[in-house]
Structure 1
Amino acid sequence: MPAAPATAPGTGAGRPTLAVWKFASCDGCQLTLLDCEDELLGIAERVQVSYFLEASSAPGPGPYDLSLVEGSVTTEADAERIRHVRAASRRLVTIGACATAGGVQALRNHADVAEFAAVVYARPDYIATLATSTPISAHVPVDFELRGCPIDRGQLIEVITAYLAGRTPDVPAHSVCFECKRRGTVCVTVAHGTPCLGPVTHAGCGALCPAYGRGCYGCFGPSNSTDFDAFLPLLRRDGMDTLDMVRVLRTFNTAAPEFDAAARKEEQG
């Protein structure tokens, strides 16, 4: 766990320092960074990767110019550790649905965690966990949220290079429907009556599911133009009942405020 910096991060000589942190997650977003391959070599020439346990067993001390954080907060230890990470980081970017919206594990927010632990573990009294899974932004200030399950590597490269260049990342906040239009994919809802979360889901996946005739599952969380009052009746028209709608809203981005509010409203009738 890094100590709070004695001086402001980013004021030292040499290349900017990069740190990558894991909280409650599957590691998929960290692997996306490693999958950048050729692009990663270019980044490595411009930054010093000081802390990245997925890639190196020799972590370096802070402070760090840029921290990428994967995963949600699910334990008291997590909550304490993210405060240390924030203190040691000049910029903090959350990557992936777990870090930005609680992840699949935020399903616990709507259930009895003690009951889950008793069913799964022979000695649940050994398990130290919180009753909720929450995004990083619920605990510390975040400079940018990069969504997705997993994140898109092109968007990740854009975020890293933007902060190296001292500018704001250029990551579009429009919906998946724009991506369907760009790749010439016929709307699965209009053409086939397939329920699809594309109109309210953040772009970034390249409209992968609709390209194969499947409705969007909301992997990238809510777009900046969500209108669930108008959207939910469309899902109902396409054959989804209340249970189906709640389930589709409570997947990768369960704790995203827009998805959570829409699911709660649907449950309450």
Structure 2
Amino acid sequence: MTAPVRSRPRLGVFKFASCDGCQLTLLDCEDELLPLAADIDIAHFVEASSDIQPGPYDLSLVEGSVSTPEHLERIRRIRAESRHLVTIGACATAGGVQALRNFADVAEFRATVYAKPEYIETLATSTPISAHVPVDFELRGCPIDRGQLIEVITAFLADRRPDIPNHSVCFACKRRGITCLPVARGIPCLGPVTHAGCGALCPAYGRGCYGCFGPSASTNMPAMIPLLRSDGMSDEDILRFLHTFNVHDFAAIEPPGELGEEGADS
């Protein structure tokens, strides 16, 4: 008796408000992606192919934040068509740098940027995908790490949990033998409160971590703020340091009142 032919798992890759950098990370996998492509059916990936197939999908990778009314409807539809949904990158996991609008008047931004603001439909906030639908896993980074991306894809297709570290960048510095920049050189660094994943890329070149992978699981911001001050940063400098790619997440853990009235309103 001939065994039934097992259909290949179906992968969907979707974009919301973002720069496309995390999707390009998947395309840049090249040698790693080719063997994987033989075992899956890439059913929806506009960045890579015009051959778009409808759902359902075994695994959906979502890049970008929810920033427009259309996004709200589309992410719910994608969630309903996906067995597993994984968000990739700072925009999808934390709202991205565009979440700076959450602390200001978006109407003023719109009028400043666009000649015809009345034609632009947008939400007052830029929010992570998890704020609207259940998410099975969040892969952090701006952009994401290609090795971690392949691990996440293979893990979900094999029905196991991805083996992604949940510690801070400081662990990566220790493993690479990198001298601690704040201790040795007084350089401000968010490594102690930032999720690992970049391989301590910036500290390896003498530049303090600026938090592109978002807060780590063991973030201790009340202890971090005085350290940044001791390295010569003003409260305004600290706010700018934190309010970049992962402003939504870092702002959520800033000590109340620690940075004064400016910290509460910015």
What TM-score range do you get, normalising by the shorter chain? Answer: over 0.9
Q: Does the 8 A contact of 1:52 with 1:59 survive in 2? A: yes
Q: 1:78-97, CA deviations, whole angstroms, 9 ceiling, x for partnerless residues?
A: 01100000000000000000
4+ runs deviating over 3 angstroms: 258-261
Q: Partner of 2:60 in structure 1?
A: 67
Distance in 1 of aligned mates of 2:212 and 2:18: 15
For structure 1, which runs of at least 5 residues remain unmatched after alignment?
A: 1-11
| 2:188 maps to 1:199 | no
Q: 7, 11, 14: which is aligned to 1:21?
A: 14
Written as runs of structure 1 = structure 2, the 5 A alignment for 1:42-57 is: 42-57=35-50
Give SS of 1:137's match. Answer: helix
User: Please, what TM-score do these two structures have when normalized by structure 2?
Assistant: 0.94
Written as runs of structure 1 = structure 2, the 5 A alignment for 1:138-149 is: 138-149=131-142
| 2:153 maps to 1:160 | yes
Q: Does the 8 A contact of 1:198 with 1:216 survive in 2? A: yes
How far did 1:166 drift? Answer: 1.1
How far did 1:231 drift? Answer: 1.1
Distance in 1 of aligned mates of 2:9 and 2:260: 48
How far did 1:263 drift? Answer: 7.2
Give the % identical residues. 71
Amino acid at match of 1:184: G
Distance in 2 of aligned mates of 1:21 and 1:264: 36
Q: Partner of 2:31 in structure 1?
A: 38
Amino acid at match of 2:162: P
Q: Does the 8 A contact of 1:71 with 1:99 survive in 2? A: yes
Q: Partner of 2:244 in structure 1?
A: 251
Give SS of 1:32's match. Answer: helix
Give SS of 2:60's match. Answer: strand
Distance in 2 of aligned mates of 1:267 and 1:25: 31
Q: Partner of 2:252 in structure 1?
A: 260
Q: 1:126-171, CA deviations, whole angstroms, 9 ceiling, x for partnerless residues?
A: 0000110000000000000000000000000000011111110000
**Against the structure 1 CA distance between its residues 165 and 178, is the aligned structure 2 distance closer, same or farther, given a 3 Å change threshold?**
same
| 2:168 maps to 1:175 | yes
| 2:222 maps to 1:229 | yes
Give SS of 1:255's match. Answer: helix
User: Please, what TM-score do these two structures have when normalized by structure 1?
Assistant: 0.93
Q: Partner of 1:185 in structure 2?
A: 178
How far did 1:261 drift? Answer: 3.2
Distance in 2 of aligned mates of 1:246 and 1:106: 14
Distance in 1 of aligned mates of 2:179 and 2:207: 11
How far did 1:121 drift? Answer: 1.1
| 2:87 maps to 1:94 | yes
The alignment covers a number of residue pairs equal to 257
For structure 2, which runs of at least 5 residues remain unmatched after alignment?
A: none
Q: Does the 8 A contact of 1:202 with 1:221 survive in 2? A: yes
Q: Does the 8 A contact of 1:152 with 1:204 survive in 2? A: yes
Amino acid at match of 2:186: G
Q: 1:20-73, CA deviations, whole angstroms, 9 ceiling, x for partnerless residues?
A: 000000000000000000110011011100000000011001100000000000
